[in-house]
Every structure is written in structure tokens, then in C-alpha cells.
Structure 1
Amino acid sequence: MSQLSKVDYKKFILPVVVGLIIWFASPIKPASVSMAGWHILAIFVATILGCITQPLPIAGVSLIGITLTILFGIVPLDDAMLAFGNGTVWMIAMAYILSRGFIKTGFGKRIGLTFVKLFGKRTLGLAYALMGVDLVLSPATPSNTARSGGIVLPIIDSIADSFGSHANDGTGRKIGSFLVYTAFHGNVIDSAIFLTAMAPNLVSVALATAFHVHITWFSWLAASIVPGILSFLIVPFIIYKMYPPEIKDTPNAKQWAEDELAKMGKMSLAEKLMAGIFVIALVLWILSSFIGMEATLVAFIAVSLLLLTGVITINDVLNEKGAWNVVVWFSILIFMANELTKLGFIPWLSHTIATSLHGLSWGLVLAILCVFYFYIHYLFASGTAHVSAMYGALLGVAIAAGAPATMSALMLGYTASLFSSTTHYASGSASAMFGSGFIDQKDWWKMNFILGIVYLIIWIGFGSLWMKIIGLW
């Protein structure tokens, strides 16, 4: 006899109560917001809260949200179904499948072992090497969880084990804790550098189009490269001083990597094909804005090539739950956020906040918005849910205050990448790395708070100066 799936009904209480309060508060709604706009606000807020409390997995909560939107006549069924035709969402899904090829072929592991072999003589160099693995994979792997949990973390576990450093026996601080924590922040930084390195980046870009701001893969990189390099160089050194490993030299790591590479043998044909298709995808993404090719089409081409060459099978595609999970809940959240704009709520909110900040320079307004956006993530367990809930409104405020539209869209986009560094539940990568058991929660929160300040200084301070140099304001 089959068992009923577990549903934590208590976690529905907060979303339902808040949703109902907003729904029945329509008599006090702003005049410029339509009744449909107000009602979808109620459902959207309830859905976002449900994504945070998670009585069901986030895709299930989102499905309930769009069902209510149709049931109450806020949006016609056919219009709502168009949500699942969002090109950005399908790009993310295809790139999830692309990342599956890295893991299945072992090519991702080979890259990691090669970095350890080349740079693993000292612990700090080893940390940079692990960050380099993530950096190389990130342009074509929008699942930061897949990179950190599927490729980098298993390598760290093996290295730590070879040095007698384990999570739960008091030996973590020998080397494992430092490597896990540094690799996590490498994942955060890499996710900000490349548009296609993290799913919320693509959601930000999709939402920015509502303000007639069009960000390409190359324009995202052009503005992120300098603060990204600064973060990549500075943050590991800060961690090394703040959270030093007991083992400073790691000559055994180089030998271990050589032994593991020897076990793997020469690159297989599947790995070579994976490497070639990865390069093709990366080049096409870089050139997409120049040759008029949609970035989503590039992702489809890459997956099609993987199928045609036999690197992955159609069963691999169908079994990639992360990809189809993306199609469901990302589509719905982006659709609902866009409806808030169409039905008048986001324009009203942007105008209201802009009015409250009236008299301040646009630079100060943008800085305030980025800092607020960063720290409010302590209340969120999903970067995409956070971006869907707030990015559009904050971008509207920045533009209304006179801030350059493209600069504002990029600065808020980078902030959305970086706020995954806040808590142990801030992103899938955070959950994976924290879940390794090498770092306790107190240290995680304390050190991340310090590094959060570092990120804000680098990306808002030096980042804005770099954007001035390249002509974004």
C-alpha cells in the first residue's frame, strides 16, 4: 500500500493568512493599481512566503499560486500558460542539462584534479585552485549547486580525508573547513562574474527587459570583470587570515591529484566531446550579442550536440529533475512578477519609494537600494524567489531617482548574486557546503557578515568606478 506524501500544513498558515489580509485590504489599495493587480499581489506575496516556509517543494507552491491566479479570473488560462514559454527559463533548464555532461563524463572532475595538481603545494594555493575549478565551469553551468555540491565538494572531501581532516571528529580545522569555506565564496564570486553562472542572474536580466534594459552575456561580464577579479584575489586571503587552516603546506595534494588523474587515464572520447561542446557554447554566448543569436538558442544547440554525439541520452535529459523544476517554478514566479508590473503595482511602488527618497542623489539612492537588497536576503531561502519579489521594484526606484538604467540593472543583478553569501540557507550552494559539516553555524554567520561588507565595498565602490570608466554612467 502506497503512503501519502508528507505535507507540512502548518507552514501554509503564514502564506495563507498574509495573502488573505492583502486580498481583503483592497479598499485601501492605491488608485493607480487595478483590482486585478492588487489580487495578484496577494497571491504573489503568499506564493513567495510559501517558497520561504516550504510546506511543499517550491515548484509545488508555485503551481498552487498560478492555479489560484487562473481560478479567480485574474489572468486567463491561455495567457497564464504562456508563462512556460519564457526563453530565459528554458535557457537555464538547458544549461542544467549541459552541466550534467560535466559530471557524467568526469570532465568536471578532471578539471578539478588538474587545478589541484598545478596549484596545490600550499593550502592557500589549493584554495585558489578549487575556486579556479568553479571559475572555469561557471560560464556554462548556471546551477551553482551542481558546481559546488556535484564537482568541487567531492574533491575537497577526498583532499581533506588524505590529510586526516574530517567534519565530525574535531579535525575539520586542519584543512577541510578552510577549503570548504573558501570554495563556497569562490562559488559566490564566480556566480556574480558570469551571467550564465547562476539562475537568479538570468531572472534579473529577464525582469530588466520590462524597463527596456537589455543586458547581454558580454555586457554583464564587461562590468563584472574588475570587481570580480578583486574579489577573487582578496577574499581567499581574508579568509586565510580570519579562519586559518592548521595545515599550511599541502605537498601531498599534488601527488594525490596525480594519482587520481592516473586512475582516470587519458581523456575519453566522451570527455573530449564534452570539452569541445563546452567551448562551442562559451564562444557562442560571448558572440551572441554580435551575431544576433539568442543566448537561449545557444543552450539548446549545446544540448542537441550532446545528444547527437551520445555524450548524454534522452533519459539523462528527462531525469534531470533540476532542469524541469526550473521550468515550473521559475516560469511561474517570473510570470507573476511581470503581471505585477503590467497591472500597475510595481510602477506604483517604484514611484512611492522614489518619492520617499526624493532629494537624494541617484548614486546614494542606488547604494541604499543595493545594501537593502543584500541584507533583506536574510529573510529568504531562495535567490530566485528574492529576485522575483524585489528586483523589478528596486530597479524601478533607481531609474525613477535618475540612476542610469543599465548601470542600475547590473548593480542590482550583481547584488543578487552576492547575497547568496549571507546564510547557510541562502542558496543551494550554501546549503550543500554548510551541509558538509565542516563549519558550524555561528562561524558561518559571523564570517559571512564580515565578508558581506567586503563584497559591498568592492562591488558598489570599485564596481561603480569601473562602470564609470567603461561609460555606463
Structure 2
Amino acid sequence: MSPKPARQGRRWWTAARWATPIAIGLALYLLPRPAAVEPGGWAVLAVFVATVLGLIAQPMPLAAVALTGLTFTMITGVLEPAVALSGFAEPTIWLIVAAFFISIAVTKTGLGRRVALWFVAMLGRRSLGLGYGLALTDLILAPATPSNTARSGGVIYPIIASLSEQAGSRPNGETRRRLGAYLTATAMGVNVITSAMFATAMAANPLVQEFAGAQGVEISWLTWTVAAIVPGIVALVVIPALLYKVYPPELRDTPEAPRAARAQLAELGPMTRPEWIMAGVFVTLLTLWSLGSQVWGLSATASAFVGVATLLITRVLTWNDLAGDKSAWTTLTWFAVLVMMAGQLQKLGVIGWFSTTITGVAGGLSWQAAFVLLTLVYFASHYAFASNTAHVAAMYGAFLAAALATGAPPMMAALVLGFISSLYGGLTHYSSGPAPVLFGSGYVALAEWWRNGVIVAAVNIVVWMGVGAFWFKILGYW
């Protein structure tokens, strides 16, 4: 193809990515406003839908799209500036920003890599043991690493690449199935589980908390963790072994892996002062997030900033580290905009109208059957999304409202839909941030990725809605 047609093709594609969200938002705005929706609510919905579609199509970076939508609500008079900017005052938004800052220290100090090497040294004599080593590493890092993409790309994948190279398993070739493909598939399968286990393990989880709170369901960090711990551990035990069976590595024994890990640990030497401080902050944060509100009256956000301040005072982090973290500031921007718009949709009756519509479709079913149906539809609809957060922003609030309208127990419904909001992240090679990172390594073919995604998703649904249901019963959530 000559340069000129290629440039024209790119221009058409860019134009389409602009035109589609705008056209759909405008078409929605021109539809008659339902009587149940208050004046102004339909306009907010149109801007919200256009913004979410813009986040998916990305004609500009995420934060730029969100700011454009925010600006449009103000200049058209849809929302007053004070209301439009209110999302930036939400404590939940700042919790996730603080957690991003803490995750910088996990990587900067080398503590994350050291933890991964410890588990490889202990469990790595067989490829299945390596899979469980990756799972334990991800599990330990997850509570303080809200970017599951950073967890996979910054800590887990470099370990996979090193182990695979040592085993003679290289991407995009005949040796990829020797070890690298299994470890890559396992890393993705594990990541969606650990992302679901902690409110601070995936960027969209605080958004879930915010939307649930708007409907009267308050989910604390401790509540989320306790509810997820049993089905999460069961899933972490099952998934590496399942993939070892259905997507096995050609190399079963890996005696060199522990020796290589011990050699790298020897090169690292004893834990450094920054690592010890980071480990202490990590333990302190888990304690504060679990007990802080009951014992000391500290919110999860205040506790997170205790950790950030400690890392700054001890010079483990510098202000330049924080200022240079584009992911944190980008997340702050588009999270604040989405939270504000979602809150207005709730306030102006749009969510209530949508939930009534969905409930009508499930009419005549028991709440149990209706909830299972809603959950499966919510899960499967992720094939149309390239972001967990965009999916949560677009559909979580409405599906939760519909579930509550059918009579589903509030806490159980909010938590299950919240867990699902992480678990569908491995369905496709584009379905979440870690997916393109791991798929792009070249170890897993496209058809294999989609097949594995369906298998892992089916098992996760069984575990989280089966084992989870018994656990939620014990906790008194239904």
C-alpha cells in the first residue's frame, strides 16, 4: 500500500472514532425523554454515553476524552460548573490515586521482583509450581497495586520472559508452547482473580464501591476482602491446575528455574532500607484498611495517604515520582468525570428508569433466577468492551439497580457484580489492560486466547457463584 492511501485510511479511522460517539450521543439525546426521567437527565445520559464510547474508541487519550465530555456539560448548561467538577472531590477517587503512588514504590524498591523470585525459588521445580508462584506473587502485590496492567506488565511478565528464555521457549515460534504459553495464560487467568479479591486491586473497583454506595449499599475495603477471600482462594487453586490440564506446557519439569531465581536473588543481595520501609508500609496499610475505620476512625482514603506520606518522608518516593506518574493523574481525571456523571444519572432518575425496564424483561422470574440471568448477561456483554472501567461505568449501576428491583439481597448483588467486573477481564485479547500486554508477548495464539478465556470464565462463574454463594450465606448476605 502506498503512503497516501495508508494516510487516508488512518484519517478515515480517526474520523470514525470521533463521529461514532458523537452521533450516538446526539441520536440518544433526540429520542423522547421517558416520563420517569427528570428534566436534564436525558441530556446527561447522552453526554455520558458519548463519553463512555469515546473512552472505548479513544480518538484522544482517556483523560482528554473525559475532559471534553465534562466541558460539554458546562458550556451547554446541562450541568452547573460546581456540579460538573464535583467528582474531583470524591474521596474514593483519591484512594485509587494514592494506591497508584504506593504501587510505584513496590516497583521502584524492587520488592515486587524479589517476592516473585522468592516464590519461583520455592515452587519452581515444575512448570505447575511456576504457575502457582506467579499466582502467589500476584496475590501478595494486588492489595496495593490498583493497576493490574502494571502488575502484569511491570512485575509478572518480566519473570515469565526470563523463565521462558531459560527453558528455550520463545514467542511467535514452534517453542512457544514449551513453557511461555502456559505461564502467560496462567498469568492472565490469575490476574482477573486477584483483581476481584481486593477493592484496591483494580482501578474500576472503587468505581463499583461508588456506584453501589449511590444505591444505598456501602462496601468497605474489609467487607470486599472478606467476601472475596474464599471464592478467590479456591479460584487461585483451581485455575493454574485447570490450564495445566487444558493448555499444558510441553516442558513439565523446570529444575533450572529455582537455581536461576536463587542466583538473581543473590545478585539483589539482602533487602535494602527502601524495601524494608515499603514492606512495613504495606503491612500497615493492610491493617489500616482492615481495622482503621472501626478502631481509629480513619477512612480508607486517609489510610492510603498515611502510606504515601510515610514513603515521601522516608524518601522512598519523591514528589517527582508522584508528579511523573501519568497513570495516576489520568485515572484521577476520567474517574472523577465518570463518577460525577453517574451520580447525576442516579439523581435525575435515569438509573431507576433503566432498572425498571430491565426488571420488566425478567418479570415472572424468582430473584435468584433473575439475578443469575442478569449476571450472565453482564458478564457476556464484556465481549463488546475493551476496558473493565468503561464497562463498569456504562452498565454496573443499571444492572445493580435491576438486580435490587427483582428482590436480590443488596450486599450480595453489589459484591457479585463487582467481582464479575474484574473476572471478565480475560475473555478476549483486548478485554482489559493486562490482556494486550500479555497477548502481545506472542506466546499465546489468538484462537487459543479466546478458547482459554471462555474456559477460565466458565470455571470462575461456577466458583464465584457456587462456592461464593455458600460463603455469602455464611456471611449473612442472603
Mapped partners of 2:442, 2:366: distance in 1: 45
Greater CA drift, 101-110 or 350-359: 350-359
Mapped partners of 2:134, 2:250: distance in 1: 18
Whether 1:319 and 2:324 are equivalent positions in the alignment is yes
Query: Which aligned pairs between 1:198-277 and structure 2 lie closer than 5 A?
Result: 198-277=202-281
**Residue-by-residue CA offset, 1:294-352 (whole Å, 9 max, x unaligned):** 10111111111110000011000000111001100111111111111111111111122
Secondary structure in 1 aligned to 2:40? helix
| Structure 1 residue 282: Cα displacement | 1.2
Q: Contact between 2:192 and 2:426, CA under 8 Å: does it hold in 1?
A: yes
| Structure 1 residue 419: Cα displacement | 0.9
Match of 2:419 in 1: 414
Match of 1:372 in 2: 377
Query: Which aligned pairs between 1:446-457 and structure 2 lie closer than 5 A?
Result: 446-457=451-462
| Structure 1 residue 9: Cα displacement | 2.8
Match of 1:186 in 2: 190
Number of equivalenced pairs: 467
TM-score by length of structure 1 reads 0.97
TM-score by length of structure 2 reads 0.96
| Structure 1 residue 85: Cα displacement | 1.1
Mapped partners of 1:103, 1:348: distance in 2: 45
Mapped partners of 1:216, 1:7: distance in 2: 43
Q: Among 132, 138, 149, which residue is 1:134 paired with?
A: 138
Mapped partners of 1:48, 1:61: distance in 2: 9
| Structure 1 residue 77: Cα displacement | 0.7
| Structure 1 residue 358: Cα displacement | 2.1
Q: Among 153, 178, 182, which residue is 1:149 paired with?
A: 153
Secondary structure in 2 aligned to 1:196? coil
Match of 2:407 in 1: 402
Q: Contact between 1:116 and 1:257, CA under 8 Å: does it hold in 2?
A: yes
Mapped partners of 1:286, 1:175: distance in 2: 38
Q: Among 343, 350, 361, which residue is 1:345 paired with?
A: 350
After superposing on structure 2, the runs of 4+ consecutive aligned residues of structure 1 that deviate more than 4 Å are none
Match of 1:18 in 2: 24
Q: Contact between 1:7 and 1:56, CA under 8 Å: does it hold in 2?
A: no
| Structure 1 residue 220: Cα displacement | 1.0
Q: Contact between 2:97 and 2:328, CA under 8 Å: does it hold in 1?
A: yes
Q: Among 80, 83, 102, which residue is 2:84 paired with?
A: 80
Whether 1:117 and 2:121 are equivalent positions in the alignment is yes
| Structure 1 residue 148: Cα displacement | 0.7
Structure 1 counterpart of 2:300, one-letter code: A
Q: Contact between 2:85 and 2:337, CA under 8 Å: does it hold in 1?
A: no
Q: Contact between 1:48 and 1:389, CA under 8 Å: does it hold in 2?
A: yes
Whether 1:48 and 2:49 are equivalent positions in the alignment is no
**Residue-by-residue CA offset, 1:269-306 (whole Å, 9 max, x unaligned):** 11111111111111111113422311011111111111
Mapped partners of 2:225, 2:151: distance in 1: 19
Query: Which aligned pairs between 1:404-443 and structure 2 lie closer than 5 A?
Result: 404-443=409-448
Q: Contact between 2:189 and 2:456, CA under 8 Å: does it hold in 1?
A: no
Mapped partners of 2:37, 2:132: distance in 1: 51
Mapped partners of 1:222, 1:289: distance in 2: 15
Q: Contact between 1:178 and 1:245, CA under 8 Å: does it hold in 2?
A: yes
Percent identical pairs in the alignment equals: 46
Unaligned runs of 5+ in 1: none
Mapped partners of 1:457, 1:273: distance in 2: 40
